[in-house]
Structure 1
Amino acid sequence: MTRPVRVAIVGAGPAGIYAADALLKSECALDPGVSIDLFERMPAPFGLIRYGVAPDHPRIKGIVTALHQVLDKPQLRLFGNVDYPHDIGLDDLRSFYDAVIFSTGAEADRPLDIPGIDLDGSYGAADFVSWYDGHPEVPRTWPLTAEKVAVLGVGNVALDVARMLAKTADELLSTEIPANVYEGLKANKALEVHVFGRRGPAQAKFSPMELRELDHSPNIEVIVNPEDIEYDAGSVETRRGNKQANMVASTLENWAIRDVGDRPHKLFLHFFESPVEVLGDDGSVVGLRTERTELDGTGNVRGTGRFTDWDVQSVYRAVGYYSDELPKLPFDPTSGTVPHVAGRVVEGAEPMPSVYVTGWIKRGPIGLIGHTKGDANETVACLLEDRAAGLLPAPTQPDPDAVVAFLEARGVRYTTREGWHRLDAHEQALGAEQGRERIKVVDRGAMLEASGA
């Protein structure tokens, strides 16, 4: 082969960009090099970083700096505002590229099958996150009329949702939130936020830093019931073997023994309460019913048959993300992932030639952003093995201009890396006018216009 190996990556979030980075670092095994095109459904890259991380977490958003270093490599091109499969399908991609890597992530809420979960006032956390992160495809308003709110789940997303509901809008005005989000949060009536977990403190999935950040707001009083601080042999073993779990448990213990202060917004962290029903009246949420649980010695819990009805007017389920099924690819609806072996997509028992997955569509929505690096390295190693073994079918249209002509012939208004830099500069300029780092542009048309699509 006298041309670079052509690879398409569908999804320009952290997983996709880490896969591109792994390919670039393996160029010596891809003589005479590699040419990578990133396809992204949104007009802007970075996926979860842009649309899944709370705006008051600039430390995590700093990962964008490292992603930029990869995105700006000359071997990469970005095609934003290009949807798979409506704008370009699998057969199209195979005609232009030697290999295709899907890194489409997970944006939907995993379902929670309890009575009342579909009542008005019951929401998925992912939808709320998309709203406050300015996702172009969600409504511009959000109903924040409830004074008492329940959040189901004990992971970092649950903390983000609870914190955003409990903070004041003015606390968040220094961040990148757009005007519609600020106005929505300013009208928020929530005074109490209750977070529920069915297991104990040792089993909580919070990261220690995210948990401690709850207590940094001058307007949020974090409250833990001392009766919820309980451990069994399995819990003790977890604390001994997991430094983060031990730090989380220690923080919760300290909060449980302190006096309750007078900060105006109360955020309760409840453990050993398993949600069993969202209570409704006339089609709307009026409460939440939980069953008290107890440890069984192994760190797991069992029901006690004791139930509590909580006075809340809205419920947010933060029980995990779920990936969309990708046309032309196999899909496991239980795990919400594409079946694979080490990143090679398999249909039945046979691998699909030249098709790979990485990130949450591969392993499910678990772990932190950095964990996707290991996924990418494994997937790229398989791609390299298949290339060396001659298992990658040659594309019929390998010329880099062929895919450009294809998109333009279909009237796809795509954005580029240079266009992203223009949008990035535009958002920073909007922020500078108000003494802020940036203000995120929400409207897709406005994003395309600023990008010069």
Structure 2
Amino acid sequence: MLRIAVVGSGPSGVYTAQALVQQPLVPGILVDVLDRLPAPYGLVRYGVAPDHEKIKSLQNTLRSVLEHDRVRFLGNVEIGAHGLTPERLLGLYHAVVYCVGAARDRRLGIPGEELAGSHSATDFVSWYSAHPDAAPAGFGLGTRSVVVIGVGNVAVDVARVLARGAEDFRPTDVPHPALGALTGSAVRDVHMVGRRGPSQAKFTTKELRELGALPSAEVRVEPADLALDPAYTPVPVTDTVRPGRDPAPSASPLAAVNRRNIEVVRGWAGMPDQGRARRIHLRFFLRPVELLGTEGRVTAVRFERTAPDGAGGVRGTGSYEEIEAGLVLRAVGYRGVPLAGLPFDETSGTVPHLAGRVLRDAVASPGEYVAGWIKRGPTGVIGTNRACAKETVVSLLADAPRLAGRRIAEDPVDALRAAGHRPVEWPGWLAIEDAEAALGASLGRRSVKIPDWEGLLAAARGVDGPSRT
């Protein structure tokens, strides 16, 4: 019998646990899914926008795995410099699979990035998702204009949350302080800006179309921006395409998703003012060069106009434009974070591996594996983690005869407690769910997330915690 630790309870971790207990080659595998947080599900709980209830329902699938009779959830267990070392963890289990994601956002590396009002989109998402590490003070939504730098799905999510009416979030699990801030928001203009054109943007068409479906906001696109894209062709006079809908299929050499994206954006170009309360401005071929500010706070972003360089990239043109903003959110990608005690490739932001086996000095380390973003980088969608996890599990199972001979602790939980850790097990998580349902009922809402460490841990242990509103 093998006892395996999976570090991380997001999709990659849970899919790894599922692949381990469902495979028929090595029967009886026991899996402990460890997480630094007392709540499971990773980015499905703390990264998916609250109005994306269909995607958030993936929690039900992940839940069924964590309730498997050979899977055990152990929250509130930190691995790394301030917690359990990988070396010590490997003494408790036959093998460890690290599924710790890519938690660090990329920076712009331009002057003014340190100004107040300049944040990562990751921090903003954590705030409205009630991540317990999020700054409790929230974000300054007293400004009329916000700039979101980036044209991927995270940027689209952030722009949509800023432009959507706060009442739309009352039926969701958004934390009450964030709901209050969104209700009092003065934001009227959200500028989502990319350095390249719509044919190279990373958002998916479904996410993009949602911007055009907001009843309280309208999407504006500069036709001059689109004209710079080599893949762009103006809408013929005889075309009767409705905004946000695809016209007839074209012979464009673009990939299908890129072609759909540019056609959706093309439908918005030149649309007349509809007089709605908020506006989402999609801007392209603008590269941020400086955040401007007064008295230590951002007031605008200076962009350089770019143009296609003929090789798939862009070049600066020496022409500049400033967009007013009291809040700037960068959404330009993620990067893995080194975990103390594990090797790390600073260039790729991943743990070196061979088919999921961790490599130390180019040699596979017995019993150590990776899956998810820390293995392959921040690429793919949630479902991509299934195939990634299966590859790692195949490697682990091939090593099983050798791993089974390792001496480990009789019960890792006893060893964790003896070392001073206080794991939150599945009943503790169910107690958090009950507390969040009760919190929502007290506020006249559905279940509402508890946004702080003290409240989560108090709920898990069945005691009264601090105010959760």
TM-score (norm 2): 0.90
C-alpha separation in 2, matches of 1:443 and 1:331: 30
Equivalent position amino acid for 2:63 in 1: H
> SS state of the match for residue 112, structure 2?
coil
Where do 1:250-329 residues align within 5 Å? 250-329=263-342
Residues 66/231 of structure 1: CA separation in 2 closer, same or farther (3 Å cut):
farther
Query: In the alignment, which of 89, 93, 115 is matched to residue 111 of structure 2?
Result: 115
**Over residues 201-229 of structure 1, what are the superposed CA-to-partner deviations in whole Å (9 max), with x where a residue is unaligned?**
11111111111111222211111111122
| TM-superposed deviation, 1:87 | 3.4
Higher share of residues assigned helix: 1
> 1:378 maps to what in 2?
391
SS of residue matched to 1:116: coil
Counterpart code for 1:409: A
Per the TM alignment, residue 290 of structure 1 is displaced from its structure 2 partner at its CA by: 0.9
Partners of 2:220 and 2:270 within 8 A in 1: no
Counterpart secondary structure, 1:261? coil
Q: Distance in 2 between matches of 1:141 and 1:165?
A: 17
Percent identity reads: 43
Query: 2:71 is matched with which residue: 53, 73, 76?
Result: 76
Check if 1:415 corresponds to 2:424: yes
One-letter amino acid matched to 1:209: K
User: Secondary structure of the residue that 2:253 maps to in structure 1?
Assistant: helix
Q: What residue is the counterpart of 1:428 in the other structure? A: 437
Q: Secondary structure at the match of 1:423?
A: helix
Any conservation in 1 of the 2:2–2:404 contact (CA below 8 Å)? Answer: no
Bigger Cα displacement from structure 2, 242-251 vs 34-43: 242-251
SS at match of 2:389: helix
- Tell me the number of residue pairs that the alignment of Structure 1 and Structure 2 aligns: 444
Q: Given the superposition, is the C-alpha separation of residues 343 and 209 from structure 1 closer, same or farther in structure 2, using an over 3 Å criterion? A: same
Q: Is 2:41 the counterpart of 1:46?
A: yes
Alignment of 1:54-65 (within 5 A): 54-65=49-60
CA contact (8 A) 1:110 1:321 kept: yes
Aligned CA-pair RMSD: 2.0
**Displacement after TM superposition at 1:284 (Å):** 1.7
- Secondary structure at the counterpart of residue 91 of structure 2: helix
Q: Secondary structure at the match of 2:178?
A: helix
CA distance in 2, matches of 1:438, 1:240: 47
Unaligned ranges ≥5, structure 2: 234-249, 463-469
Secondary structure of the 1:405 match is helix
Q: Residue 337 of structure 1 corresponds to which residue in structure 2?
A: 350
The AA in structure 2 aligned to 1:96 is L
Residue 204 in structure 1 maps to residue 201 in structure 2: yes
Could you report, residue by residue, the CA deviation over 1:280-310 in whole angstroms, capped at 9, with x for unpaired residues? Answer: 2232212111111112334322221111122
Contact 1:54 1:129 survives alignment (8 Å): yes
State the Cα deviation string for residues 396-441 of structure 1 (Å, max 9, x = none).
2242x2x121222233222111222232233234335556442111
Whichever residue aligns with residue 410 of structure 1, its letter is A
What is the SS of the residue equivalent to 1:145?
coil
- What is the rounded CA distance, in whole Å, between the counterparts of 1:91 and 1:394 in structure 2? 17
Structure 1 position 451 matched with structure 2 position 447: no
Residues 15-414 of structure 1 aligned to structure 2 (within 5 Å): 15-26=12-23, 28-30=24-26, 32-85=27-80, 86-142=82-138, 143-230=140-227, 240-388=253-401, 390=402, 392=403, 394-399=405-410, 401=411, 403-414=412-423
Contact 1:124–1:317 (CA<8 Å) still a contact in 2? yes
Aligned-partner residue type, residue 276 of structure 2: R
CA displacement at 1:154 relative to structure 2: 0.4
- The gaps in structure 1 that reach 5 residues or longer are none
1:393 offset after TM fit, Å?
Answer: 6.9
Contact 1:344 1:356 in 2 (8 A): yes
